[in-house]
Chains A and B, each alone.
Chain A
Amino acid sequence: MLLAATPLPAAAQGVLRGTVHTKQGEAIVGASVAIPGTTLSTRTDLQGMYRILLVPAGRVRVHAGAIGYAFADTTVALTGGDSTTLDLTLRAEPLELPPLDVVSTKVARFGDRPAASVVQVPERAIDERAVNTVDEAVDKAAGVQMLNGQINIRGSTGYVQGLNSRVLLLVDGVPMNQGDRGGISWDLLPVDQIERVDILKGAGSSLYGSAALGGVVNLTTRDVPEGVHVRVRLTGGAYGNPPKDVWRFRDGTGLEGGGDVSASYGTATFGGRLAAGARHSDGYREQDDGDHWQIAGRARWQASPRTRVDMSGAWADDHYAVPLAWCLQGQCDDRGQAFQPFKVATAALGSWTDSRKGYIAAQARTVVSERLAWQARASWFRTNFFDQRPPNGSEFGIANRFGAELRAEAHPDSARTVLVGGEVTFSDVTSDIFENHSQSEFAAYGESEQVLGVVRLNVGTRIDFLAVDGGSLSAVVSPRVGGTVATDQRGGTLRASLGRGFRAPSIAERFVHTFAEGLEVIPNPNLQPETAWSTELGYTTAPLFRMLRLDAALFWTEAREQIEPRLIVDSTGPKIQLQNVTRARIAGLDAAILAAPIPDRLTATLSYTYLSTRRQIAGDTSAPGPLGFRPKHLLTLSADYSLGVVRVGADFRYVSRVERIELEPFVDARRVPVKVLDLRAGWKQGPVELRLLAANVLNYIYNLVPQTLAPVRTITLTAVWSH
């Protein structure tokens, strides 16, 4: 294969350049331009210009696409040793699906639909929602639900108080789950630096390994454009007061605010950006104030026409008070109420957390030829927390996660893609509640994709070797097979996939020793990896009557050895221990309707997820019950209307009341359905943009996890100035 991809002589190559614009001649920024079936691709800059080097001479197929536009697919005759100009015009098409997928196969796919469900939150959607952290932006994505900071993709994770995640977070393709808990730090990156979020639904372990059991979230940060660019973002807002006088806990109104500044400079060869920001929030409940500051940077270096090097890093520091759980009768001045959702127990007053986290990552990609490219990366992610928890004392933890990966992408011919790679991860922890431990993971993977007419098939597998504290290795194999069938020329696609996922227990899960809900939590070093088989059958239609597009998928996951907190009783009393006890099934339907009744003006999306879950405990002969923290129904309706420089929109989210929560006898089990309406408006004129967000505008009072009030009405105004 490598011999077949020997670099072509320079004379047989040329440069393809040009612009991508609308029919009205306006530049389209960030459009993808690619030579299908090769390693060659790029994106348009702020002027809508692109340039692809090393393009083989002759007749070359060129594919261009951008969010909100129909793709263009054309052929150009390219002269070797010269530059050829190709200007591309894209037609506005709000129903067009995202043109680029980078998460489903680790190989950038332009225009081709993936075999698994992928949902994308583009920059525009992040901007419109005027949010402060990434989790707020992905919370409204179809089939996704955030539970107090833990992400659930089709009910993958449930809620385990931050002790793990069955979803893998990537930042520009680099894994970023915490080294100790395996959880996700959503405030690691300034939201203003994020260009796009790709969410892969279902098992992704065949390429990504541990934690990709239920899905993968990839954050793509903004590239560094040429020239000097400055961006200033200021936010300010207010929290709604409790809707009932008996719940009032302060005299004034809670406020929030902050600012971010980023500046970049780039040439064709080098580019760099530095961003810094801070924000303060009074919080919407008692003991909920917090301060956050962050810096982030990114640099690129086109070391040669074939090789590009990218470096990025960020550091975030948070100091926040912690409203551990709402006050129950007698725990505070309860005013004759059975519970006070805005207040905390008097004994828990004074709880706070210092959380620091940062990463640095470097990636190099070399295009050996139009048939072969390789990529290497190295990363270091560090987290450091200190919890003050009166009256019990304090807890701390410092964790490092080091990672490295080398992979090669080959296109032996225009109908075939092969990806092979290896990955190493080492995590170490120093903590008084997780003790001092380390975990190593070594992996090798490969995937091949073949196009056979309208059918696209891919097969892959990955083997991971895991070791704790330098002990013996245990192996986990994660195969996957998938395929798509193009049912028409306008994007109608049938897709199917079957894959095995796994998640290695986090160091925190194995070794945690603390107190929760008044009970001792004891370690379990013998925890084994969770595994699951996931399958999906989905269909995306072509636009119907030029107004509607439908997407639906049936999914089914059978999980084994799921880790769950269990109450055990020994001679010294009851305790909580995490054990591999649960056999789980998550099945359901994920459906979305995209509508554009007035193209260019009004767009709407209705998405619905139905979950049917089953939980069987090992050794328990009673009838299976539902999994904890998985709602049966999840519905989101979004609509946007734009008129000139003004844009208004709304999101409505309904989540049915969860049937079961963990450790129900030991916590306040009050819970209600979620019915939240967000309204937003935006105005953009030249370099200035204003955004107004009224989140939970009806001030619906609810909780997602026990004794934890979800955000109340929050009005936020954001001003952005870009140069």
Chain B
Amino acid sequence: MRKVWFVLVVLAACGRGLEPEPICAPDLVGLCGTLRFRGTVPDSTDAVFIAAYLTVPQTCNDLINNRRPIVPGSVPYTDSAAAYSVALDPGTYHWVVAVWKKLGTLTISPQDTALLRVAGYYRNPVDSTQRGVVPISSGPAAGGIDFVVNFDSLRPATDFVTCTAQ
């Protein structure tokens, strides 16, 4: 009986429960980086989240339906910079975008675009006029996906896609 207890106590002591997990964790499948904030945060701000698209969306429907993750979490936006990470399925993502959301409930439908604005996106490190492409493997996360979020330049979805009905 003593041996059984010894084994169990060791098992319990050595067991790994939940551990601190840095935003860019080694076992993350996805991408991570740092956001730098510019401009004045609007009073109506509810959240700033990161979304990624395997292909560049062409329509409002694409913008909502092809977004990964479907329900993104906010990043902290009150300081001048914030680390972030996003868990994503492996693939090559052609648009990684920071989305500003004003107060209101999302319905995960094209109507959401009324609440959302593009606040910045990851750019090609070689040609900053182009979108950056981020390949994600099932191994370590793609790090260093850093870009700027500009609250003074929040752009509506229609600057990027065609919205036929809202």
Chain A residues with a Cβ under 8 A of chain B: 244, 246-247, 328-331, 333-334, 336-339, 341, 515, 517-520, 572-574, 595, 597, 602, 604, 606, 637, 639, 650, 652, 654, 665-666, 670, 672-673, 675-677, 698, 700-703, 709
Beta-carbon nearest neighbor of A572 in chain B: B107
Q: Using known A-B contacts A328-B73, A518-B106, determine if residue A337 contacts B21 with beta carbons closer than 8 Å.
A: yes
Chain A residues closer than 8 Å to B23, beta-carbon distance: 329, 334, 336-338
Of the residues B15, B70, B107, contact of A700 by C-beta under 8 Å: B15
Q: Using known A-B contacts A573-B108, A573-B109, A677-B12, determine if residue A670 contacts B18 with beta carbons closer than 8 Å.
A: yes
Closest 8 CB pairs of A and B: A573-B107, A330-B75, A573-B109, A675-B15, A701-B17, A338-B21, A330-B74, A701-B18
Chain B interface residue count, CB cutoff 8 Å, equals 40
Please choose the segment from B55-63, B76-84, B128-136, B148-156 that sits at the chain A interface, where 4 or more of its residues have CB less than 8 A away: B76-84
A210 to chain B, nearest CB (A): 35
A700 touches B71 (CB 8 A): no
Of the residues A247, A606, A675, contact of B12 by C-beta under 8 Å: A675
Beta-carbon nearest neighbor of A602 in chain B: B1
Q: Using known A-B contacts A518-B71, A518-B106, A675-B11, determine if residue A336 contacts B18 with beta carbons closer than 8 Å.
A: no
B73 touches A337 (CB 8 A): no
Chain B residues closer than 8 Å to A709, beta-carbon distance: 18
B17 touches A336 (CB 8 A): no
Of the residues A334, A602, A652, A675, contact of B17 by C-beta under 8 Å: A675
Q: Using known A-B contacts A246-B20, A338-B85, A637-B4, determine if residue A331 contacts B15 with beta carbons closer than 8 Å.
A: no
Q: Using known A-B contacts A573-B107, A700-B15, determine if residue A604 contacts B83 with beta carbons closer than 8 Å.
A: no
A608 to chain B, nearest CB (A): 13
Question: In whole angstroms, what is the CA distance A246 to B108 when docked?
Answer: 34
- Indicate if B114 sits at the interface (CB-CB under 8 A): no
B70 touches A665 (CB 8 A): yes
B12 touches A244 (CB 8 A): no
A698 touches B13 (CB 8 A): yes
A49 to chain B, nearest CB (A): 38
Chain B residues closer than 8 Å to A519, beta-carbon distance: 108
B18 touches A329 (CB 8 A): no
Beta-carbon nearest neighbor of B76 in chain A: A330
Beta-carbon nearest neighbor of A670 in chain B: B18
Chain A residues closer than 8 Å to B73, beta-carbon distance: 328-331
B74 touches A336 (CB 8 A): no
B89 to chain A, nearest CB (A): 11
Chain B residues closer than 8 Å to A517, beta-carbon distance: 71
A700 touches B22 (CB 8 A): no
Q: Using known A-B contacts A330-B84, A597-B1, determine if residue A703 contacts B70 with beta carbons closer than 8 Å.
A: no
A652 touches B8 (CB 8 A): yes
Chain B residues closer than 8 Å to A698, beta-carbon distance: 12-13
- Indicate if B41 sits at the interface (CB-CB under 8 A): no
A247 touches B107 (CB 8 A): no
A665 touches B5 (CB 8 A): no
Question: In whole angstroms, what is the CA distance A337 to B20 when docked?
Answer: 7
B87 to chain A, nearest CB (A): 9
Question: In whole angstroms, what is the CA distance A64 to B20 when docked?
Answer: 56
Q: Which of B63-116 contact A (CB under 8 A)?
A: 69-71, 73-77, 82-85, 105-109, 111
A702 touches B17 (CB 8 A): yes
